[in-house]
């Protein structure tokens, strides 16, 4: 952990003098760190500053957070002591990338001064796990443009990714590439991380849909129709080169639907053609079709996934207000809780509950549950159990219920949640279900299901809430499975029965602590004499 620096306003602090700010530099005593003058480029005494010892608990917490990060792609947000986002970055491996910020001080001295200053300001961080590097790249750019962190410069000019722009005000709308959303009347698709694949996709779309690209200049004919191109290339793909404005706009709508993600039928057709060509030993044609499918999927699938999981909302306040209006609530919901069930074929059944306050994750109020009332695969019973446990506990502690409860699922899961409230004799707060297939909002009463537009800020907030609950549940499920696998290592040690195995795990907690134990510590476990303790100690280190 590197020294951390914070600029604290003197107002409202006992260590104050009017109009003065105090610079605190935390240098953990257990670490060998360079002198402050070497690290920051100045001597504190020059400015009359005082180095004050600060608690090291925060450093320990950061290292502990890093230890639990996944070795997967994602985006990380570095925060200062006031909770402000000061840097956003992407990573192929969140664990490796974020841990590099907390390297030994000797390695840190070789970094650029700006990076050293950034590291010194980090007081906390958040991460968002995604499925691939392109998604991480897109999300990084959007978050930087939204938050404009002090130490990010690459994305603030909005020139990183390509968009596809279609202006419906044109008589014959063209599909153009742009990097900026200059006008609000046009439809924009993207951003797209792979510019090369995007250009190939547009070329194929021209063949498939008969649309105009770039700065093509169609010619108006005397009969009122339009000649799209001066040559007959378009007719080679089955499209007439002379069309009416209405016919062409129908083509545009089909192409826009494709860019919106409705690509299944065309991709299926291309795969059938590819298989047929391969069956006829027309391998060059099959390879060409394969490349087309690859370009289309590479362009659209990552964007569709990103748009679904990380919609951009103007502000959290706008999203809460929009959600309250969409659901007919008397006021915007400031506190939201979402439940999700996770299991692997009925085993390791767990549940998660995440809590959002003012549109943001409040991780101190996250909860996770192991299912205790039954064994097997029953999402409804699991939902009933965890909802009942959560709100029985809140009621017993005299704490308020959230403004809105979101259930990951449909009417069956909603019914289970309502049953849980009835069993604990509590009036449920506003409650909805979010069905994944079509992102449909399900109400517990007679109101019909609600499908909001994909770009609706209320749906974006619900998706972030639901996806966070899903991530939290899956992480807990994976942790339990990993723990079970590690503990099964003891099955290979001869002479260790169920009673002694249980005694070991009860004493040390898990296999990792047992591996780190000494012979003397193992002998403290009931049933383990010097000989057995020595054999187990040697076996664990073999």
Q: Under a CB-based contact definition with an 8 Å cutoff, are residues 29 and 22 in contact?
A: no
* 479 falls within a domain: no
Residue 508 has pLDDT above 60, yes or no: yes
| Distant-in-sequence contacts of 147-156, Cβ < 8 A, 24+ apart | 147/77, 147/85, 147/88, 149/78, 149/85, 149/86, 149/87, 149/88, 150/86, 150/87, 151/78, 151/86, 151/87, 151/114, 151/118, 152/87, 152/88
Q: Which of 327-336, 435-444, 465-474, 516-525 has the highest mean pLDDT?
A: 327-336
Domain presence at residue 22: yes
Q: 114 with 176, same domain? A: no
CATH of residue 517's domain is 1.10.150.20
Is the CA virtual torsion 30, 34, 39, 45 positive or negative? positive
pLDDT digits (tens, 9 = 90+) for 216-264: 778 888 888 888 776 555 554 556 778 888 888 888 888 888 777 666 6
- Is residue 482 included in any domain, yes or no? no
Q: Which of 85, 115, 147 is the last residue of a domain?
A: 147
> What's the confidence (pLDDT) of residue 107?
55
The CA-based dihedral angle spanning residues 498, 504, 509, 512, taken in that order and rounded to the nearest 10 degrees? -100
The rounded percent of the chain whose pLDDT value lies above 70 is 70
Residue 152 pLDDT: 77
**Which of 285, 309, 333 delimits the end of a domain?**
309
For the cut 80, the answer to whether the pLDDT of residue 341 exceeds it is: yes
Q: Are residues 17 and 37 in the same domain?
A: yes
The reply to whether 177 and 81 lie within a common domain is no
Q: Which of 93, 100, 137, 127 lies closest to 116, judged by CA? A: 100
Q: Which residue has the higher pLDDT, 477 or 429?
A: 429
**Helix, strand, coil percentages for the chain (3-state, nearest 5):** 45, 20, 35
Band (pLDDT 50/70/90 cuts) for residue 18 is: very low
Q: Answer whether residue 279 is part of any domain.
A: yes
Q: What is the full DSSP assignment across 97-162?
A: HHHGGG--HHHHTTS-HHHHHHHHH--EEEEEE-SSHHHHHHHHHHHHHHH--TT--SSTTS-SSE
Same domain, 90 and 169: no
- Mean pLDDT for 52-69 is 61
Residue 426 shares a structural domain with residue 300: no
Q: What is the pTM of this model?
A: 0.38
The stretch 514-531 carries a mean pLDDT of 85
Q: Is position 485 within any domain? A: no
Q: Is the pLDDT of residue 476 over 70?
A: no
Backbone φ and ψ for 419, nearest 5 degrees, come out as -65, -40
Q: Which of 472, 460, 438, 428 is nearest to 339 (CA)?
A: 472
Q: Which residue has the higher pLDDT, 537 or 261?
A: 537
Residue 449 lies in a domain: yes
What pLDDT is recorded for position 337?
A: 96
CATH of the domain at 98: 3.40.1440.10
- Residue 41 burial (CB < 10 Å; 0-12/13-18/19+)? exposed
Local confidence band at 384 (pLDDT 50, 70, 90 cut-offs) = very high
Q: Which of these, 98, 103, 49, lies nearest to 73 by C-alpha position?
A: 98
**Would residue 333 count as lying in a domain?**
yes
Show the CA angle centred on residue 415, arms to residues 412 and 419, nearest 5°.
Answer: 140
Name the nearest CA neighbour of 356 among 403, 318, 395. 403
One domain, residues 251 and 208: yes
Closest residue by Cα to residue 465 from 370, 343, 349, 333: 333
Lowest mean pLDDT among 263-267, 308-312, 384-388, 516-520: 308-312
- 204-217 pLDDT, tens digit per residue, is 888 778 888 887 77
DSSP states along 156-222:
TTS-SSEEEEE-TTSSS--EEEESS---SSSEEEEEES-HHHHHHHHHHHHHHH---BTT---EE-T
Q: Which of 65, 202, 199, 40 is nearest to 123 (CA)?
A: 65
Mean pLDDT of the chain: 74
Q: Is residue 486 part of a domain?
A: no
Which range among 136-150, 241-255, 376-390 shows the weakest confidence by mean pLDDT? 136-150
Residues 66 and 38 in one domain: yes
- Write out the E strands in 232-322: 242-243
| CATH code for the domain in which residue 369 is found | 3.30.420.340
H helix runs in 316-362, sequence order:
316-327
Record the tokens describing residue 439, joined without a space: 């992102």
The alpha carbons of the chain give a radius of gyration, in whole angstroms, of 29
Q: Of 293, 309, 325, which residue sits at a domain end?
A: 309
Instruction: Say if residue 533's pLDDT is above 60.
Output: yes
Pair (498, 460) in one structural domain: no
Highest mean pLDDT among 177-181, 383-387, 454-458: 383-387
pLDDT at res. 216: 79
Confidence band, pLDDT 50/70/90 cuts, at residue 347: low
Residues 246 and 375 in one domain: no
Q: What is the pLDDT of residue 59?
A: 44
pLDDT at 307: 37
Name every residue whose Cβ is closer than 8 Å to that of residue 205 and which is 6 or more positions away in sequence: 175, 211, 255, 258
Instruction: Give the residue numbers spanning the domain of 207.
Output: 162-309
How many independent structural domains does the chain possess?
4
Mean pLDDT, residues 99-116? 69
Residues 510 and 439 in one domain: no
Residues 402 and 502 grouped into a single domain = no
Average pLDDT over residues 354-363: 90
Same structural domain, 453 and 518 = no
């Amino acid at each position: 952990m590197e020294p951390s620096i914070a600029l604290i306003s003197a107002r409202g602090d006992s260590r104050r003098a009017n109009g003065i700010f105090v610079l605190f530099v935390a240098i953990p005593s257990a670490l060998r760190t360079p002198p402050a003058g070497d690290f920051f480029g100045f001597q504190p005494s020059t400015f009359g500053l005082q180095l004050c010892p600060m608690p090291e608990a925060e450093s320990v917490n950061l290292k502990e957070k890093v230890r639990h990060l996944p070795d997967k792609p994602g985006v990380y947000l570095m925060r200062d002591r006031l909770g402000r986002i000061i840097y956003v970055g992407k990573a192929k491996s969140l664990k490796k990338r974020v841990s590099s910020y907390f390297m030994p001080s000797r390695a840190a001295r070789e970094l650029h001064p700006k990076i050293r200053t950034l590291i010194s300001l980090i007081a906390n961080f958040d991460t968002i796990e995604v499925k691939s590097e392109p998604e991480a790249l897109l999300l990084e750019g959007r978050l930087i443009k939204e938050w404009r962190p002090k130490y990010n410069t690459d994305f603030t000019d909005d020139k990183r990714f390509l968009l596809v722009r279609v202006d419906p005000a044109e008589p014959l709308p063209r599909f153009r590439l742009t990097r900026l959303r200059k006008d609000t009347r046009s439809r924009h698709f993207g951003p797209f991380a792979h510019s090369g694949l995007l250009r190939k996709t547009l070329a194929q779309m021209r063949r498939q849909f008969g649309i105009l690209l770039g700065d093509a200049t169609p010619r108006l004919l005397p009969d009122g129709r339009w000649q799209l191109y001066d040559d007959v290339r378009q007719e080679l793909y089955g499209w007439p080169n002379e069309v009416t404005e209405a016919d062409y706009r129908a083509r545009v709508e089909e192409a826009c639907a494709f860019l919106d993600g409705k690509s299944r039928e065309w991709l299926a057709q291309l795969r059938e053609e590819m298989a047929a060509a391969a069956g006829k030993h027309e391998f060059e044609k099959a390879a060409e079709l394969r490349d087309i499918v690859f370009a289309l999927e590479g362009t659209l699938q990552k964007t569709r996934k990103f748009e679904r999981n990380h919609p951009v909302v103007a502000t959290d306040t706008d999203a809460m207000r929009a959600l309250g209006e969409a659901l007919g609530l008397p006021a915007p919901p400031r506190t939201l809780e979402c439940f999700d069930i996770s299991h692997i074929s009925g085993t390791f059944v767990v549940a998660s509950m995440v809590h959002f306050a003012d549109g943001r994750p409040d991780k101190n109020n996250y909860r996770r549950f192991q299912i205790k009332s039954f064994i097997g695969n029953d999402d409804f019973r699991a939902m009933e159990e965890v909802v009942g446990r959560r709100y029985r506990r809140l009621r017993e502690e005299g704490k308020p219920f959230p403004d809105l409860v979101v259930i990951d699922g449909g009417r069956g899961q909603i019914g289970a949640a309502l049953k849980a409230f009835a069993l604990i004799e509590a009036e449920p707060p506003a409650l909805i279900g979010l069905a994944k297939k079509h992102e449909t909002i399900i109400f517990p009463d007679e109101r019909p299901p609600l499908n909001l537009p994909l770009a609706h800020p209320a749906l974006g907030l619900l998706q972030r809430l639901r996806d966070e609950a899903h991530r939290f549940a899956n992480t807990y499920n994976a942790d339990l499975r990993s723990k079970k696998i590690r503990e099964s290592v003891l099955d290979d040690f001869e002479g260790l029965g169920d009673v002694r195995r249980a005694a070991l795990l009860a004493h040390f907690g898990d296999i990792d602590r047992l591996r780190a134990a000494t012979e003397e510590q193992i002998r403290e476990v009931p049933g383990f004499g010097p000989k057995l303790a020595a054999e187990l100690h040697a076996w664990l280190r073999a």
